[in-house]
């Protein structure tokens, strides 16, 4: 069974701190990995994609991928109250997206 697991939340961080989100996946053949942000009552919004081992930075967001360990992470630097949302890790299996349960992040002002 193909699964995507995320670290359980909720995660509460003070404004300006780093929020660290983790994700593991079971299908070693997966090649595409994504992080989505979902505000309450809204649909997911793509914030990062990563396909190769290593780090990928985009503004305050850094995604890290380690295919050997089947591990994907997302760092949010200088967290802002507007970053408060649920973050979904998604992995492509057979051209379909499988989602983790999500980690809810709350940034305290």
Cα-based angle 73, 15, 22 (whole degrees, multiple of 5): 15
Task: Identify whether the C-beta of residue 79 lies closer than 8 Å to the C-beta of residue 13.
Answer: yes
Q: Does 2 bind another protein (CB under 8 A)?
A: no
- Least Cβ distance, residue 91 to another protein (angstroms): 10
Q: Does 11 bind another protein (CB under 8 A)?
A: no
x/- contact string, 35-74, with another protein (CB under 8 A)? ------xxxxxx--x-------------------------
């Amino acid at each position: 069974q193909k699964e995507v697991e995320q670290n359980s939340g909720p995660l509460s961080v003070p404004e300006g701190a780093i929020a660290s989100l983790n994700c593991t996946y079971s299908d070693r053949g997966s090649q595409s990995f994504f992080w989505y942000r979902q505000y309450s009552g809204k649909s997911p919004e793509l914030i990062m994609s990563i396909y190769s081992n290593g780090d990928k930075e985009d503004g305050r967001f850094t995604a890290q991928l380690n295919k050997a360990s089947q591990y994907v992470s997302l760092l949010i630097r200088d967290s802002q109250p507007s970053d408060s949302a649920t973050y979904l890790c998604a992995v492509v299996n057979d051209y379909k997206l499988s989602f983790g349960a999500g980690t809810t992040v709350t940034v305290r002002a």
